[in-house]
Amino acid sequence: METHVVVNVAIAASVAGLVIGVALLRRSRHTREQLGGIGRRRPVATLALALYFAVAVLDSISWRDGAGAAEPRSIVDRWFPADFAERSYSAPLADVEFYGGAPLAHPGAHWLGTDILGRDVLHLALGGARVALLIGGLTSLLAIPLAILLGVVAGWFGGRIDDTVFFLLSTLASIPSLLLLVALVMVLGTGAVQVCIALAVTSWVSFCRVSRAETLKLRELDYVQAARALGASHARILWRHVVPNLMHLVVITFVLTFSQLVLSEAILSWLGVGIDGSWGQMIDQARDELARDPVIGWNLGAASVALFGLILAVNRVGDAVRDVLDPRTLRELQ
Amino acid sequence: MSDLLAVEGLVTTFPGRAPETRIPVVDRVDLRVARGEALALVGESGCGKSMTALSILSLVPKPGRVEAGSVRLAGAELRGLPATALRRIRGARIAMIFQEPATSLNPVQRVGAQVMEAIALHERVSGAEARRRALALFEAVGIPDPEARLRAYPHQLSGGLKQRVMISIALAGRPELLIADEPTTALDVTVQAQILALLRALAADTGVAILLITHDLGVVNEIADRVAVMYAGRVVEEGPRASVLGAPRHPYTQGLLRSMPSRARPGERLAEIPGAVPAADAWPPGCRFAPRCAIAMDVCRVREPEATPLAADAAARCHALVTP
Amino acid sequence: MIAYLLRRLVWGAVTILGVLLFLFWLFVLYAQPEDVARRALGEKAPPEAIAQWLVNHGYDRPAVWNPEAPLDTRLFDHLSRMLRFDFGASDADDAPIAARLRSGIGPTLGVTLPLFAIGLPLSLALALGVAFFRDTYIDRLGVVVCVLAMSVSILLYILGGQFLLGKLLRWFPISGFDPDPGLALRFLALPVFVGVLAGLGSDVRFFRTVFLEETGRDYVRTARAKGAGDARVMLRHVLPNAMIPVLSAVSLTIPFLFTGSLLLESFFGIPGLGSITVEAIQNNDFATLRVMVYLGALLFIAVQVATDVAYTWVDPRVRLE
Ligand SMILES: Nc1ncnc2c1ncn2[C@@H]1O[C@H](COP(=O)(O)OP(=O)(O)OP(=O)(O)O)[C@@H](O)[C@H]1O
Ligand SMILES: [Mg+2]
């Protein structure tokens, strides 16, 4: 199957996962209006996050123009002219190449300049949002459902099942996460899906731990006990009463994990095993560019600002989400 | 006789739900405690008793704040004092013990060290001297095997012993006034009686005045010389114990007394006050007790009653006393 | 107490076994030995060379079950050698791994010990200061700065530090290392500085939360009612109590002392364990990487057990239970 089709499907699945998550959340005791309060508490960060999300989604929907076109192009790609490349570096808004001074194909049109291969930096930076969304979305899609399932089942049934899950948890948790991540990527091989799988393996532990601990608590609550006494099946109680009531903790954990995921990918890129097109890769290239004379900074600058903006927005919104949804429990659980 | 503690028009507020609003949880409270006297401050849970006590010591937790009023100790104003001056009063002239002995002691410090700290904070004493004093305090508050207990950590002591440690911490600075915020609520009934007896004996021995906060009228009967009844942030009735408990004039005090199990006659249903204390942001206009009051009149729902002086140094805040 | 420690020790042993089994699955069962060989020898290596490489590295034996000689399996080999710290030779250049690790420990500790010794007290002190000024502009400003600082990728700290302090200001050599202590100091200063700076934001914020949580507790109110001042309350009451959560947070970062900061070391050219790991990644050296992961986990587990012992010392409540 072609990559752009896979990506389209992955994005659709991520968005669907988001919708399901929100639907589960609305069934919980914690009301919807609390979530609405986040936008009011952190208007700028929420707006910024929405923008990143929009760019990422727009850049994920791509198609081929007729059979003759070589590459499928996304909506964001279509904001730029078709052959929007130079031969090598050009400074922002420059009319000539940075080295040598040969005239550019698109003089004054590259707002943020071009990189060593002549690609437009603004275009590249926008494309990084898609990779970030892929990292967050695909990883969560892989990690969260399984983590909740194992955590809830372990917490609910206890005994051998719980012992097994707990053993798994403490085993994975005891491997320093960067080393585990690197080892996984090495063995699985590089590529977007492989990196996301590796990130999922390192990040599912916290989701599973939270679900398990909260299930242990919920199990003792009156209404859950009542449902048991009324003869509801295990599956029904778990789905109707337990899972919805721990979703808010999962959401908080997700928001707090997301920035870690994106930052980890940047480190992987730096180590040469990241995802193509990520901001981490752009920063990695800047290692050489800072050593040049004169220094080339726009590539690094664009990637850094884009990465910093996203992480900052996520951190700010994450704080608000935690305050609104749950001021205390999470710290007790961890 | 001049008062040891005189609180006038004390207002303490917390931020309301709407931004920029503040809600009084203690509202224009007046209290007087004479030297050597025991005043009981009584009221249902949430009516502002603890906040009144903390306001006296300027210990109201943030975001709460004392908004208005005066707190005078032996005639000297405490409000607005700089932090260092306040520190010299806390523990040395006014000491306080709290409702939860279990959490009120530092869990990672030996209790002996906590008592010695209270001594050393206000007097220059040698370590040996502080230790000797702490030992004497432990003996005075009836801690068995005090020598060994000095080295104990709080979690190794029972609730009653912890409260005795708290009392010895409070007495360490030889205060003139002891504020005891529900000192027995968290304890077993038998231990409650012992702690009350201890407080009574200490008051008799040292002449310390006591501001005792409680919602238990039985406790009031045991210790208090005078009683102040609080409802929804306000003092609604005040007077000598005999008159407030014997001939209560405010319908709320009457209701409180009727709902006491020990007062009920055998076979009779225990009376209760209908409804519940409204939250601080939902206080009705007029008399705050009116919605729950059996004898409420129209005026009660509109205008708040003034304090009406009654016989023998007593007062109550009820329209029914003026316009029967 | 003894029973408690024994329980923790058993937990540690079981977890180590779990880690070893996981590594066996990952590096021996999941990763195809032929792939490993091909990565080591190059894509176009002749089949005989690959077969020989597999024999040399012991990859030709049965993985889990050998009917003839039950102990002659790769699983048994893996477990026994890892437990005896007999790490064998690198997949990439056949050099003994253990010797290489020994040479890397010094430089790694040269970076991480000062990093730890400066970073931890510094962030604790800053957090204590910020918590001291809670609900004032200083506190709010402190939190904002922390969030900003922790939103910056460590890569940017490294690049920025090196560019600014090394290249523009020329305060420090840009990268490199010299085992001579006098010279080493010059080379280590920049990575340590950058490492401390990069960790400050999230550490200060976390410790501040811990301190604030403690300042809300009842025993703090008691201390104030005794007449203790703010500074005394913070240092004598809040700090010792906060050490309990701080200890568990710090224990999580100790393994990093030895595995080294991959990024700092590789970027600043310090030949420590972190650089060895990065080289292993670049050379597809699975054997070395497996050892590094194992040692990291081993250390983590050891520190967890040690922390449980330390708890009994910081927290009297644990002592007798
Ligand atoms: N931190 C706070 N923030 C907001 N409101 C508070 C806070 N602390 C106390 N209050 C409010 O102040 C009011 C008075 O509380 P206070 O603790 O003085 O009651 P109390 O009479 O001592 O009750 P109790 O018998 O339960 O101890 C309560 O209605 C409570 O809602
Ligand atoms: Mg109270």
The reply to whether C62 falls in a domain is yes
The predicted model scores a pTM of: 0.85
User: What confidence score (pLDDT) does residue A333 get?
Assistant: 42
In a domain, B166, yes or no: no
Give the distance (Å) from ligand 2 centre to CA of residue B210: 16
C286 to chain A: which residues are within 8 Å by CB? 186-187
What pLDDT score was predicted for residue A332?
A: 46
pLDDT of amino acid B132:
94
Residue B33's pLDDT band (cuts 50, 70, 90) = very high
> What percent of chain A has a predicted confidence (pLDDT) above 90?
18
Strand-pairing partners, residue B14, are B23
C296 at the A interface (CB within 8 A)?
yes
Residues C122 and C68 in one domain: no
- Those residues whose C-beta lies under 8 Å from the C-beta of residue A57, and which sit 6 or more positions away, are A11, A15, A133
Chain C residue with Cα closest to A175: C297
Same domain as C182, residue C67: no
Q: What is the pLDDT of residues B83-97, one digit of tens each?
A: 999 999 999 999 999
Note the pLDDT of residue B165.
94
Examine residue B40 and state whether it is found in any structural domain, yes or no: yes
The answer to whether residues A323 and A257 belong to one domain is: yes
C124 & C39 share domain: no
What integer pLDDT is reported at residue B320 of this predicted model?
84
Residue B270: what pLDDT? 63
In a domain, C88, yes or no: no
pLDDT tens for each residue of C206-252: 999 899 889 889 999 999 999 999 889 999 999 999 988 888 888 88
Does the pLDDT at position B227 exceed 90? yes
Physical contact, C and B (3 or more Cβ pairs within 8 A): yes
Report the domain count for chain C.
2
Tell whether C135 is within 8 A of chain B (Cβ).
Answer: yes
**Of the candidates C154, C159, C259, which has its C-beta nearest A179's C-beta?**
C259
Task: Measure in Å the smallest separation between the Cα of C218 and chain B Cα atoms.
Answer: 5
Relative to beta strand B209-214, strand B38-42 is parallel
**One domain, residues A112 and A226:** no
Shortest Cα distance, chain C CAs vs residue B255, angstroms? 33
Q: Tell me whether B107 touches chain C (CB under 8 Å).
A: yes
Closest chain B residue to C233 measured between Cα atoms?
B106
Q: How far off is chain C from B24, nearest CA to CA, in Å? A: 20
**Whole domain around residue A155: which residue ranges?**
3-80+120-333
Ligand 1 pocket, B244 CB below 6 A? no
Give the residue numbers spanning the domain of C71: 15-83
Tell me what the pLDDT averaged over chain B comes to: 88
Asked whether the predicted pLDDT for residue A110 surpasses 80, the reply is no
Q: Which of C252, C244, C250 is nearest to C217 (CA)?
A: C244
Q: Choose the mutation target among B87, B94, B177, B185 for the interface with C, i.e. most C CBs under 10 Å.
A: B87
* Per-residue pLDDT at B292 exceeds 70: yes
Domain boundary among C33, C50, C83: C83
Whether A2 shows a pLDDT value over 70: the answer reads no
pLDDT at C74: 78
Closest-CA residue of chain C to A328: C213
The answer, yes or no, to whether any atom of ligand 1 lies below 6 A from the CB of B101, is no
Q: CATH number for the domain including B299?
A: 3.40.50.300
pLDDT score at C204: 93
Q: Residues of chain B with pLDDT > 90: what percent?
A: 48
pLDDT reading at A65 higher than 80: no
User: C6 lies in a domain?
Assistant: no
- Hey, are the CB atoms on A319 and C292 less than 8 Å from each other? no
pLDDT band at A190 (very low <50, low <70, confident <90, very high): confident
**Gap from A222 CA to chain C (nearest CA, Å):** 29
pLDDT at C220: 94
Omega into B284 within 30° of 0, i.e. cis? Answer: no
Q: Which of B10, B12, B14 to mutate to test the pocket of ligand 1 (most atoms within 8 A of CB)?
A: B14
Question: Residue A31: pLDDT above 60?
Answer: no
Q: Does B109 touch chain C (CB under 8 A)?
A: yes
C263 inside 8 A of chain A by CB = yes
**Three-state SS annotation for chain C:** CHHHHHHHHHHHHHHHHHHHHHHHHHHHHHCCHHHHHHHHHCCCCCHHHHHHHHHHCCCCCCCCCCCCCCCCCHHHHHHHHHHCCCCCECCCCCCEHHHHHHHHHHHHHHHHHHHHHHHHHHHHHHHHHHHHCCCCHHHHHHHHHHHHHHCCCHHHHHHHHHHHHHHHCCCCCCCCCCCCHHHHHHHHHHHHHHHHHHHHHHHHHHHHHHHHHHHCCHHHHHHHHHCCCHHHHHHHHHHHHHHHHHHHHHHHHCHHHHHCCHHHHHHHCCCCHHHHHHHHHHCCCHHHHHHHHHHHHHHHHHHHHHHHHHHHHHCHHHHCC
**Same domain as A154, residue A59:** yes
- Domain count of chain A? 2
pLDDT attached to residue A313: 92
The band of A33, judged by pLDDT with boundaries at 50, 70 and 90, is low
A68 and A188 assigned to the same domain? yes
Distance from CA of C230 to the nearest CA of A (A): 25
Q: Does C187 touch chain A (CB under 8 A)?
A: no
pLDDT tens figures, B55-73: 999 999 888 899 999 999 9
Same domain, C221 and C123: yes
Residue with CA nearest ligand 1 atom 11:
B25
Q: Which of the residues C135, C140, C214, C219 would you substitute to probe the B interface, choosing the one with the greatest number of B C-beta atoms within 10 Å?
A: C219
Which is more confident, A94 or B33? B33
Question: Is the pLDDT confidence value at A146 over 80?
Answer: yes
Instruction: Give the closest of B100, B108, B169 to C241, CB-based.
Output: B108
Q: Which residues contact C99 (CB under 8 A, 6 or more apart)?
A: none
B83 and C230 in contact by Cβ < 8 A?
A: yes
Q: What is the mean pLDDT of each run of 10 residues along chain C (321 residues)?
A: 82 91 86 75 79 77 72 78 81 82 88 91 93 86 92 89 79 74 78 90 90 90 93 91 87 76 86 90 86 91 86 72 48
Question: Is B118's CB within 8 Å of C227's CB?
Answer: yes
List the subunits that have 3+ CB pairs under 8 angstroms with B: C
Domain-located, residue B44: yes
Q: Is the pLDDT of residue A188 over 60?
A: yes
- Looking at the structure, tell me whether residues A281 and A190 fall in a common domain: yes
ipTM above 0.95, yes or no: no
C215, C71: one domain: no
**Claim to verify: residue C141 and residue C285 sit in the same structural domain:** yes
Distance from residue B202's CA to the centre of ligand 1 (Å): 29
Whether C100 is in a domain gets the answer no
Q: Are residues C112 and C79 in the same domain?
A: no
Residues C74 and C124 reside in one and the same domain: no
| Per-residue pLDDT tens digits for A69-86 | 677 778 887 787 777 777
Chain A residues near residue C304 by CB distance under 8 angstroms:
174
Report CB contact under 8 Å: C314, B108.
yes
Please name the residue whose Cα sits nearest to atom 12 of ligand 1.
B25
- Is the C-beta atom of B48 inside 6 A of ligand 1? yes
The mean pLDDT value for A102-122 works out to: 78
Lowest mean pLDDT among A197-211, B149-163, B290-304: B290-304
Tell me whether the omega of the peptide bond preceding residue A294 falls within 30 degrees of 0, making it cis. yes
CB < 8 Å from C in window 181-210 of A: 182-184, 186-187
In this model, does residue B319 exceed pLDDT 60? yes
Residues A43 and A89 in one domain: no
User: Does C174 fall in a domain?
Assistant: yes
Give yes or no for a contact between C304 and A174, defined as CB atoms under 8 angstroms apart: yes
CA atoms of B210 and B257, how far apart (whole Å): 22
Same-domain status, A258 and A237: yes
- Answer yes or no: is C91 within a domain: no
From the CA of A167, how far away is ligand 1's center (Å)?
Answer: 45
Same domain, A222 and A91: no
We report the CATH number of the domain holding residue C151 as 1.10.3720.10
Domain extent, residue B87, equals 3-93+175-317
CA dist., res. B38 & res. B225, Å (int): 5
Q: Which ligand is nearest to the CA of B214?
A: 1
Q: Rounded to an integer, what distance in angstroms lies between the CA atom of residue A129 and that of residue A306? A: 8
**C-alpha B48 – ligand 2 centre gap (Å):** 7
Mean pLDDT on B128-143: 92
- The total number of structural domains in chain B stands at 1
Tell me which chains share at least 3 CB pairs under 8 Å with chain A.
C
Q: Are A53 and A70 members of one domain?
A: yes
Last residue of a domain, one of A66, A100, A119: A119
